[in-house]
Amino acid sequence: MDENVLREISASWRGARYPVVLTGAGISTESGVPDFRSSKGLWRQTPEELSSITMLERKPELFYPFYQDRIRNILAAGPNAGHFGLSRLMEHGYLRVLITQNIDGYHQLAGAPEVLELHGTLRKVSCMRCHAAFDSRQMLPEAEDETLTPGVGPECQCPECGGRLRPDIVLFGEGLPERAWEKAMRAARRADLFVVVGSSLTVGPANLLPEWAADAGARLLIINREATPLDRLARWVVRESAGAVISALVDSILAEPV
Ligand SMILES: [Zn+2]
């Protein structure tokens, strides 16, 4: 990132009263989370089809192996410089609200005290009948079945009541968690600096937040490798790796006394 731009952004960030950050998949790809096996052609359905409530209800033999795979992938990696950098900003009072579209829980693992998870979390599963909650490891088979025969094993059942377990994420066809969404909307309207990190801003309704923030007068910073539909509203657009940009910004913001 250009030195002058870096200085301008960090000065603006230091002076902001209510900085808000929204993160998307781009911040976590740098953690090296392995690709879904689906992308290697093992699954005939697209991830969008497999991530639907219809698939959970009608084709659990396809739904469960897909999510067991995603849980394993998330457990195999962890937070990176981008996640840790944002946690440091929070810790020093330079980040008021952290909103994420991600379901990997890496912000919390990096020490963020509060995260608004708009799409839920794949760190937990719960029973569809009695609502008992479990760590998502509960939904993994004892030994990984290398033959990958799709099926619904006993691990997909609630140990309390035998009901069916489901990941605590928002599936296609479901609404966003109300509390998190309301807080995120309020934060967007209150923000004077709104920062997007690693989101293509193509998934709604989360992509409305930066637009609302900009409409309400917030300066908008977009850090994403590819162009987004909101680039035209942004004061700054940085098309570089999230981890490197956040690290440079955090160093610069924290270098100056408050
Ligand atoms: Zn149950």
The full set of domain ranges for the chain reads 1-33+79-119+176-258, 34-76+122-169
Q: What is d(CA 141, CA 164) in angstroms, rounded to the nearest whole number?
A: 14
CA of 47 relative to ligand 1 center, distance in Å: 27
Q: What is d(CA 65, CA 73) in angstroms, rounded to the nearest whole number?
A: 12
CA of 154 relative to ligand 1 center, distance in Å: 13
* Structural fold of domain 1-33+79-119+176-258: Rossmann fold (3.40.50)
Q: What is the pLDDT of residue 48?
A: 76
Q: What is the pLDDT of residue 40?
A: 45
- Please tell me if the domain spanning 1-33+79-119+176-258 has the same topology as the one spanning 34-76+122-169: no
Q: Which residues are annotated as a binding site?
A: 127, 130, 158, 161
Q: Which residues are annotated as a binding site for Zn(2+)?
A: 127, 130, 158, 161
CA of 126 relative to ligand 1 center, distance in Å: 8
- Token pair for 35: 């690709």
DSSP states of the chain: --HHHHHHHHHHHHH-SSEEEEE-HHHHHTTTPPPPGGGGTS-SS-HHHHTBHHHHHH-HHHHHHHHHHHHHHHHH----HHHHHHHHHHHTTS-SEEEES--S-HHHHTT-S--EETTEEEEEEEETTT--EEEGGGGS-SS--TT------GGGB-TTT--BEEEEEPPBTSPPPHHHHHHHHHHHHH-SEEEEES--S-STTTTHHHHHHHHTT-EEEEE-SS--TTGGG-SEEE-S-HHHHHHHHHHHHHHS--
* Catalytic residue ranges: 119
CATH fit for domain 34-76+122-169, picks 2.40.50.140, 3.40.50.620, 1.10.10.10, 3.30.1600.10: 3.30.1600.10
* Average pLDDT per block of 10 residues along the chain, 258 residues long: 94 98 94 59 66 90 90 94 98 98 97 97 98 97 61 89 96 94 98 97 93 98 96 97 96 81
Q: What is the pLDDT of residue 41?
A: 44
CA of 127 relative to ligand 1 center, distance in Å: 5
Q: What is the pLDDT of residue 108?
A: 98
pTM for this structure? 0.93
Ligand 1 is a single-atom ion; what residues have CB below 5 A from it? 127, 129-130, 132, 158, 160-161, 163
